[in-house]
């Protein structure tokens, strides 16, 4: 039976809590209310308020307390209601969680999962729509994932909870109820946390993306093939840190053209690093300049719907870039 992205998250949390009594949840309104988007709905009834903790409105406390609990053997799953609110927890994430294994010469670990809701296209405005994934992908010591499918929403969350190192788990709010899939059988299904996935085979150009933009990428690839006959290979990064260089380079070696699609700002987004990797290690394979489709470099996503649509990468912009790439 097909389930939604948010149902997959809820199922993954419940399975891991049943499997391991060290797993607990903490976040704003996640208990009685079931979270802002109902991702944790019903879990407090099964596991109680000691394992589904309604926290104060204090992201720094949510993450700092979770780091302490992780250091003594618990496996906390902290929820940041919107990525726009994560800045009070930046010190704890980047200065403490990310560096704990390194500074202790491997004698201490931090098995912490931070669930982060992100992304635009839902009318959330300036402080409920940002895509700040690159803030954390830049930081060694953190694993940063952005599942784009229902199966990955569950499987990558379960794998994150079982990791001994801290994981930032980015879930795009526009995916919550817009996609459905049949999940693999078995409670023990977990997904790969270290490799990208080729979601569509192609031979004429490579389109690399992550998160909700996978939907845009697949629609764009289909449209361009109908218009030109060219086939576009679509790579879902899945993991932003560490990047799966081999999958990207292998695809570019086959197609000789690369376009990167990201919802993040253009400057210093994940596409900048991918461009550098390909320029350094696969320059001889390229038949055209690398192109990026991204959000503009403005402080935040606008609240007005026409401006939000102008801001967001979409199928029209992506197809235009692919046509330019193919015609070079």
191 belongs to a structural domain: no
pLDDT at 37 over 80: yes
For the residues of 202-258, what is the DSSP string, one character each? -SSEEEEE-TTHHHHHHHHHHHHHHHH---EEEEE--EEES--HHHHHHHHHHHS-E
For residue 190, being part of any structural domain is answered with: no
Residue 259: closest CA among 281, 231, 288, 228: 288
Tell me which of 128, 195, 265, 323 is the catalytic residue.
128
Over pLDDT 90: what percentage of the chain? 95
Q: Does position 1 have pLDDT exceeding 90, yes or no?
A: no
Of 128, 147, 181, the domain-final residue: 181
Q: How confident is the model over 298-317, as a mean pLDDT?
A: 94
Specify whether 169 is located in the same domain as 318: no
Domain-embedded: residue 189: no
Structural domain contains residue 187: no
- For the stretch 235-286, pLDDT in tens is 999 999 999 999 999 999 999 999 999 999 999 999 999 999 999 999 999 9
Establish if 281 belongs to a structural domain. Answer: yes
Using the 3D structure, point to which of 125, 154, 181 is the last residue of a domain. Answer: 181
pLDDT, average across residues 114-118: 98
User: Is residue 186, in this structure, part of any structural domain at all?
Assistant: no
Judge if 171 and 214 occupy the same domain: no
Q: How many domains does the chain have?
A: 2
Helix (H) or strand (E) run with residue 13 in it: helix 5-19
Least confident of 186-190, 234-238, 305-309: 186-190
Give the rounded distance of the alpha carbon of 242 from its chain centre. 12
Model pLDDT, residue 300: 87
- Interval 21-41 mean pLDDT: 96
The boundaries of the domain holding residue 126 are 3-181
pTM for this prediction: 0.96
The answer, yes or no, to whether residue 288 has pLDDT greater than 80, is: yes
CA distances from residue 112 to 123, 150, 279 in whole angstroms, order as listed: 31, 22, 35
265 is catalytic: no
Q: Of 150, 181, 212, which residue is a domain's last?
A: 181
| Phi, psi angles (nearest 5°) of residue 239 | -120, 125
Q: What is the pLDDT of residues 136-172, one digit of tens each?
A: 999 999 999 999 999 999 999 999 999 999 999 999 9
Is the Cα dihedral 263, 269, 272, 273 positive or negative? negative
pLDDT classification of 188: cutoffs 50, 70, 90: confident
CATH number at residue 116: 3.40.50.970
Residues 166 and 38 in one domain: yes
Same domain, 56 and 205: no
Please give the DSSP secondary-structure letter assigned to residue 182.
Answer: P
Provide the pLDDT for residue 67. Answer: 98
CA nearest to 252, candidates 292, 197, 216, 290: 290
Residues 58-74 pLDDT 10s: 999 999 999 999 999 99
- Average pLDDT over every residue of 222-231: 98
User: Based on the domain organization, do 222 and 96 belong to the same domain?
Assistant: no
Average pLDDT, the chain: 96
- Would you say residue 192 lies in a domain? no
């Amino acid at each position: 039976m097909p389930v939604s992205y948010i149902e997959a998250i809820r199922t993954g949390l419940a399975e891991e809590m049943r499997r391991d009594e060290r797993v607990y949840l903490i976040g704003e309104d996640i208990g009685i209310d079931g979270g802002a988007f109902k991702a944790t709905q019903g879990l407090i009834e099964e596991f109680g308020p000691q394992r589904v903790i309604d926290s104060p409105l204090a992201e720094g406390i949510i993450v700092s307390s979770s780091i302490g609990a992780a250091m003594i053997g618990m496996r906390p799953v902290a929820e940041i209601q919107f990525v726009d609110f994560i800045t009070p927890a930046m010190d704890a994430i980047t200065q403490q969680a990310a560096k704990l294994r390194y500074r202790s010469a491997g004698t201490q670990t931090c098995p912490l999962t931070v669930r982060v809701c992100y992304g635009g296209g839902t009318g959330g405005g300036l402080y409920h729509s940002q895509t700040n994934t690159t803030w954390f992908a830049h930081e060694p010591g953190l694993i940063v994932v952005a599942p784009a499918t229902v199966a990955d929403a569950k499987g990558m969350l379960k794998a994150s909870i079982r990791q001994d190192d801290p994981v930032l788990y980015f879930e795009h709010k526009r995916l919550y109820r817009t996609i459905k899939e049949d999940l693999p059988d078995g409670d023990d299904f977990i997904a790969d946390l270290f490799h990208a996935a080729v979601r569509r085979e192609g031979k004429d150009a490579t389109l690399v993306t992550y998160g909700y933009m996978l939907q845009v990428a697949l629609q764009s690839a289909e449209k361009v093939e109908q218009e030109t006959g060219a086939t576009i290979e679509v790579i879902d990064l899945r993991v932003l840190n560490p990047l799966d260089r081999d999958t990207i380079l292998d695809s570019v070696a086959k197609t000789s053209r690369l376009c990167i699609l990201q919802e993040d700002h253009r400057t210093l987004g994940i596409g900048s690093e991918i461009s550098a990797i390909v320029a350094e290690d696969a320059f001889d394979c390229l038949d055209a300049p690398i192109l990026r489709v991204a959000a503009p470099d403005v402080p935040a996503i606008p609240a007005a719907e026409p401006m939000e649509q102008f801001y967001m990468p979409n199928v029209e912009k992506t197809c235009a870039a692919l046509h330019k790439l193919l015609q070079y």
